[in-house]
Amino acid sequence: MSDFASRVLAWFDEHGRRDLPWQQDVTPYRVWVSEIMLQQTQVATVIPYFNRFVERFPDVSALAAARQDEVLARWSGLGYYARARNLHKAAQVVHGKFGGTFPASLDAVMTLPGIGRSTAGAILSLAFAQRHAILDGNVKRVLARHAAIAGWPGTGRVADELWRVAEQHTPQKRVAEYTQAMMDLGATLCTRSKPSCERCPVADDCESLLMNKVGDYPGRKPKSAKPLRTTTMILASANGQVYLERRPETGIWGGLWSLPELDERSVGEWCEDVLDSAATRTQPWDILRHSFSHYDLDIQPIVVHLDSRAAHVADAGARVWYKLDDEPPGGLAAPVKKLINQLRNRNNATHC
pLDDT in tens, 51-107: 999 999 999 999 999 999 999 999 988 988 999 999 999 999 999 999 999 999 999
Q: Which residue has the higher pLDDT, 111 or 280?
A: 111
pLDDT in tens, 22-34: 999 999 999 999 9
Q: What is the DSSP secondary structure assignment for residue 3, as one 8-state letter?
A: H
* Helix, strand counts (H, E) of the chain: 14, 7
Mean pLDDT of 294-321: 79
249 pLDDT exceeds 90?
no
114 pLDDT exceeds 90?
yes
Spatial CA neighbour of 206 closest among 267, 143, 159: 143
Task: Give the CA distances from residue 144 to residues 119, 147, 339, in Å, rounded to whole numbers and listed in that order.
Answer: 19, 6, 42
Phi and psi at 308, nearest 5°, equal: -65, -25
Residue 258: pLDDT band (50, 70, 90) is: very high
- 35 is a catalytic site residue: yes
Residue 312 has what pLDDT? 55
Q: Are 214 and 192 in contact (CB under 8 A)?
A: no
pLDDT in tens, 322-333: 999 898 989 999
Residue 130 has what pLDDT? 97
**Helix ranges (DSSP H) in the chain:** 3-15, 28-37, 43-56, 60-65, 68-75, 82-97, 106-110, 117-128, 137-146, 156-169, 175-188, 207-210, 267-270, 334-351
Q: Are 207 and 213 in contact (CB under 8 A)?
A: no
Architecture of domain 3-216: Orthogonal Bundle (1.10)
Domain assignments of the chain as residue spans, ordered by start:
3-216, 228-351
**Helix ranges (DSSP H) in 67-110:** 68-75, 82-97, 106-110
For the domain made up of 228-351, the CATH class stated in words is: alpha beta
Q: What is the DSSP secondary structure assignment for residue 296, as one 8-state letter?
A: E
Residue 310 has what pLDDT? 55
Q: Are 77 and 48 in contact (CB under 8 A)?
A: no
Set 35, 70, 161, 272: catalytic member? 35
Percent of residues in the chain assigned helix, strand, coil, to nearest 5: 50, 15, 40
